[in-house]
Amino acid sequence: MVSPTPPSAHVQGNCVAQPRLPRAVRMVSLRAGQSDSIRQRPGETIFLKGGEQVKPFPPHPDLQPLTPTCNPPCLAAAMPPGVSPGPEGPSAPAPSGRAGRRAPPPPRRSPGLPEAKRRGRARRLHQEVAELQDGLQHLDLAAEKPVPSGTGLAYDKELTSFHCLWDKSFPECPARLTSIWTKLVEDGLVERCVPVQARLATEEEILLVHSPQFLALMASTADMEEGKLRALSDTYDSVYLHPNSYHCARLAAGTVLAVVDKVLSGELRNGLALIRPPGHHAQRERMEGYCLFNHVAIAARHARERRGLQRVLIVDWDVHHGQGTQFIFEDDPRVSYNTPSVLYFSVHRYDNGAFWPHLPDSDSSAVGRGQGCGFTINLPWNQPGMTDADYISAFLQLLLPVAFEFQPQLVLVAAGFDAAIGDPKGQMLVSPACFAHLTHMLLALAGGKVVLALEGGYNLHSLTEGVSAALGSLLGDPCPPLAGPAAPCPSALQSISKALGIHAQFWPSLQHVEVSALSTEDEGVEEALGETGGVPSPVELPCPEALPSLEAPPPRRPPACTGLVYDERMTQHYNMWDSQHPERPQRVTRALSRLQELGLERRCLRLPPRLATEPELLLCHSPEYVARLRATVGLRPRELHRAGSRYNSVYMCGESFEAACLAAGCVLSAVDAVLAGQVQNAVAVVRPPGHHAEPDAACGFCLFNSVALAARYAQQVAGRPLRVLILDWDIHHGNGIQHIFEEDPRVATTWQQQQSPWPRASGHCWETPHWPHLQSWHYPCLHTPSPVLSMPSAWPALCTVPTGPAFVSMVLCSRYVAGHMVAHGDASGHPMVLSFADLSAWCYDCEAYIHHPTLLPAKILAHRLKFGNELPALL
Q: Which of the 8 DSSP states describes residue 156? A: -
Q: Which is nearer to Zn ion, 318 or 838 (CB)?
A: 318
Strands 797-803, 806-812: pairing kind: antiparallel
Helix-then-strand count for the chain, H and E = 27, 21
Q: Closest distance between Zn ion and the C-beta of residue 428, in Å?
A: 11
What is the DSSP annotation of 469-502?
HHHHHHTTPPPPPPSSS----HHHHHHHHHHHHH
Question: Which C-beta is closer to ligand X5A: that of 466 or that of 563?
Answer: 466
The count of C-alpha atoms lying within 13 angstroms of the C-alpha of 236, restricted to the half-sphere facing its C-beta, is 22
**Gap between the Cα atoms of 160 and 248, Å rounded:** 8
456 counts as binding ligand X5A under rule CB under 6 A? yes
320 lines the binding site for ligand X5A (CB under 6 A)? yes
Binding-site member from 4, 416, 480, 644 for Zn ion (CB under 5 A): 416
Tell me whether residue 424 or residue 490 sits nearer to Zn ion (CB atom).
Answer: 424
How far, in Å, CA of 378 to CA of 720, rounded? 42
**CB atoms < 10 A from the CB of 550, how many?**
14
Q: Nearest-5° angle of CA 129, CA 83, CA 31? A: 20
769, interface contact from ligand X5A, Zn ion, none, CB < 5-8 Å by kind: none
Rounded to the nearest whole angstrom, what is the least distance from the CB of residue 457 to ligand X5A in the complex?
7
Q: Does 320 bind Zn ion (CB under 5 A)?
A: yes
**CB under 5 to 8 A by kind: which of ligand X5A, Zn ion, none does 356 bind?**
ligand X5A
**Least distance (Å) from ligand X5A to the CB of residue 248?**
14
**Smaller CB distance to Zn ion: residue 28 or 434?**
434
The single-letter code of the amino acid at 154 is A
Which one, 281 or 830, has the nearer CB to ligand X5A?
A: 281
- Alpha helix segments (H runs only) across 31-93: 75-78
Question: How many whole angstroms from its chain centre is CA 219?
Answer: 45
The one of ligand X5A, Zn ion, none whose footprint includes residue 480, by CB under 5 to 8 A per kind, is none
- Residue 196 CB coordination number (10 Å): 25
For ligand X5A, the binding residues in 97-156 under the rule CB under 6 A are none
What does the alpha-carbon distance between residue 690 and residue 664 come to, in Å, rounded to a whole number? 8
Q: Applying CB under 5 A, which part among 337-345, 411-419, 671-679, 747-755 lies near Zn ion?
A: 411-419
* Nearest approach, Cβ of residue 366 and ligand X5A (Å): 19
* Strands of 605-606's sheet in order across: 605-606, 562-565, 681-684
Interface map 328-357 toward ligand X5A (x if CB under 6 A): ----------------------------x-
Indicate which of Zn ion, ligand X5A, none lies near residue 290 (CB less than 5 to 8 Å, by partner kind): ligand X5A
Q: What letter represents residue 771's amino acid? A: W
Considering Cα of 176, then 180, then 182, then 183, what sign does the dihedral take?
positive
The residue of the chain with the least Cβ separation from Zn ion equals: 456
User: Given the complex with ligand X5A, which of 262 and 321 has the nearer CB atom?
Assistant: 321
Q: What is the Cβ-side half-sphere exposure of residue 702, based on CA atoms within 13 angstroms?
A: 27
Binder of residue 238, out of ligand X5A, Zn ion, none (CB less than 5 to 8 A by kind): ligand X5A
Q: Which is nearer to ligand X5A, 214 or 355 (CB)?
A: 355
At closest approach, how far in Å is the CB of 236 from ligand X5A?
A: 11
Known catalytic residues?
281, 692
Q: Measured over all CA atoms, what is the biggest interatomic distance in the chain, rounded to whole angstroms? A: 101
- Give the β-pairing of 270-273 and 450-454: parallel
The residues, any chain, with a CB within 8 Å of residue 541's CB and separated by 6 or more, are 484, 485, 723, 745
Shortest CB 172 distance to ligand X5A, Å? 7
Selected binder of ligand X5A within 181, 290, 329, 651 (CB under 6 A):
290
The 3-state DSSP class for residue 387 equals coil
Q: How many whole angstroms separate alpha carbon 416 and alpha carbon 437?
A: 15
Nearer to ligand X5A, 272 or 850 (CB): 272
In the complex, minimum distance from the CB of residue 453 to Zn ion, in angstroms, rounded to a whole number: 13
d(CA 154, CA 268): 12
Residue/partner pairs of 375-378 with CB below 8 Å, 24 or more apart? 375/329, 375/330, 375/332, 375/340, 375/342, 375/343, 375/344, 376/326, 376/329, 376/330, 376/344, 377/343, 377/344, 377/345, 377/346, 377/402, 377/499, 377/503, 378/321, 378/326, 378/346, 378/348, 378/499
Window 584-603: residues binding Zn ion (CB under 5 A): none
Within 8 A by CB and 6+ apart from 60, the residues are: 42, 143, 144, 145, 146
Q: Give the nearer residue to ligand X5A in terms of CB position, either 323 or 809.
A: 323
Contacting residue, 318, 332, 567, 672, with Zn ion by CB under 5 A: 318
Rg (CA), the chain: 32
Which stretch, 93-101, 409-417, 461-469, 849-857, contacts Zn ion (CB under 5 A)?
A: 409-417
Residue 551, CA atoms < 13 Å, CB-side half-sphere? 2
C-beta of 615: minimal distance to ligand X5A in Å? Answer: 58
φ/ψ (deg, to 5) at 797:
-110, 150
Contact status: 824 vs Zn ion (CB under 5 A): no
**Roughly what angle, to the nearest 10 degrees, separates helices 212-220 and 245-264?**
130
Residue closer to ligand X5A by CB (options 288, 694) is: 288
Of 187-195, 208-216, 449-457, 623-631, the segment contacting Zn ion by CB under 5 A is: 449-457
Q: Is 73 in the site for ligand X5A (CB under 6 A)?
A: no
Binder of ligand X5A out of 455, 655, 672, 694 (CB under 6 A): 455
Amino acid found at 174:
P
Count of residues that bind ligand X5A according to CB under 6 A: 12
Task: Quote the least distance from Cβ 468 to ligand X5A, whole Å.
Answer: 19
State the Cα angle at 455 between 451 and 456, rounded to 5°.
145
Q: Tell which one of 52, 316, 418, 655 touches Zn ion (CB under 5 A).
A: 418
The distance of closest approach from Cβ of residue 353 to ligand X5A in the complex, given in angstroms and rounded to an integer, is 14
Q: Which of 140, 316, 318, 330 binds ligand X5A (CB under 6 A)?
A: 318
Give, in degrees to the nearest 5, the angle at Cα 481 between 553 and 409.
110
- Shortest distance in whole angstroms from residue 229 CB to Zn ion: 22
* Residue selected from 4, 7, 135, 289 as contacting ligand X5A according to rule CB under 6 A: 289
Give the length of the chain: 875
CB of 259 to ligand X5A, least distance (A): 19
DSSP class of residue 288 equals B
Between 240 and 842, name the residue whose CB sits nearer to ligand X5A.
Answer: 240
Query: Minimum distance between the CB of residue 456 and ligand X5A, rounded to whole angstroms?
Result: 2
Q: Which residue is nearest to ligand X5A (CB)?
A: 456
Q: Nearest 5 degrees, angle CA 195-CA 196-CA 202?
A: 165
CB-facing half-sphere around the CA of 768: CA atoms within 13 A: 19
Binding to ligand X5A in span 386-445, by CB under 6 A: 416, 418
Taking CB under 6 A as the rule, does residue 238 contact ligand X5A?
yes
Q: List the single partner that 345 binds among ligand X5A, Zn ion, none, CB under 5 to 8 Å by kind.
A: none
Residue closer to ligand X5A (CB basis): 289 or 488: 289
Q: If binding is defined by CB under 6 A, does position 14 make contact with ligand X5A?
A: no
Task: List the one residue out of 641, 593, 290 whose CA is nearest residue 456.
Answer: 290
Positions 353 through 382 that interact with ligand X5A (CB under 6 A): 356
User: Which is nearer to ligand X5A, 328 or 475 (by Cβ)?
Assistant: 328
Among 317, 200, 291, 301, residue whose Cα is nearest residue 239: 291
CA-based angle 134:138:143, to the nearest 5?
155
Does an H or E element contain 834, and which? strand 832-834
**Applying CB under 5 A, which of residues 95, 279, 324, 456 lies at the interface with Zn ion?**
456
Write out the residues near ligand X5A by the rule CB under 6 A. Answer: 238, 278, 281, 289-290, 318, 320, 356, 416, 418, 455-456
Catalog residues that contact Zn ion under the rule CB under 5 A: 318, 320, 416, 418, 456
